[in-house]
Amino acid sequence: MTGPKSLEEIEQLYALRGGLHYGEGVTQIEHALQTAILAQAQSAGPGLIVAALLHDIGHLFESEEDVVEGRFDDRHEAVGARMLEALFPESVYRPVALHVAAKRYLCFTEPQYWAGLSPASRQSLRLQGGPFDQAQATAFERAPFWREAVHLRRFDDMGKREEVSGRAFVDYLPMMRDLSAGVTKA
C-alpha cells in the first residue's frame, strides 16, 4: 500500500475517501475536522492539532465494509503513522500511532471510560485487544508522546457529532505546511 507523498496527496485522499462513514454517524472528513477543532479549542499545539486532523488517515485505505462489519483490526493507527512519518515531525505521527493504545489505556485506568465509547469504538476495541492490563498500561506510560495520544483519544471520542463543523480541510493546510517544512526527508 502506497501512502500520500505530499500534502496535496493527503488533501486529495480526504476529498476522494473522506465521505465514508466506517460505522459512525459522521463521515471521515467531518470526524477529522471536528477532532482538530476540539484540539484547537483546548489550545493544543500545532502538532497535536494536525495529529487530530489526520489520526484516522489509515482508515482511508481500508474497506468500509470490513470496518463496519468488524471483520479484523487493520491497525489503521500504525498504517497512518507510517504514512505521516515521512511528512511530519514526531509530534504528529507518534500520537497517531498511539491513539488506539490510548483507548485501551483509558479503558483500564478509567473504568467509566468504556461506557462513553461509541458502539463502533466498543466493537473495534474488542478487535484491538480490549482494555490494557497493568503491565501494558505501565509500558504505555513509558512511550514518547503517550500523554498527547491520550489527549488525541479524548478529542477523537468527542469528534463524532452529526452536526457539521463549518470548517474545511483546506483551513489546516497552512499549519500542515509549517509542520512539514521542518521535516528532513530521508
Full pLDDT tens readout for the chain, 186 residues? 567 889 999 999 999 988 887 667 789 999 999 999 999 999 999 999 999 999 999 888 765 565 555 554 567 788 899 999 999 999 999 999 999 999 999 999 998 999 988 887 888 888 888 999 999 999 999 999 999 999 999 999 998 888 788 899 999 999 999 999 877 654
**Domain-by-domain residue ranges, the chain?**
7-180
Q: What is the pTM of this model?
A: 0.90
DSSP per-residue codes, the chain: ----SSHHHHHHHHHHHTT--TTSSS-HHHHHHHHHHHHHHTT--HHHHHHHHHTTGGGGGS-HHHHHTT-----HHHHHHHHHHTTS-HHHHHHHHHHHHHHHHHHHH-GGGGGGS-HHHHHHHHHTT-S--HHHHHHHTTSTTHHHHHHHHHHHHH---SS--S--GGGGHHHHHHHHHTPPP-
Fold of 7-180: Hypothetical protein af1432 (1.10.3210)
What pLDDT is recorded for position 166? 85
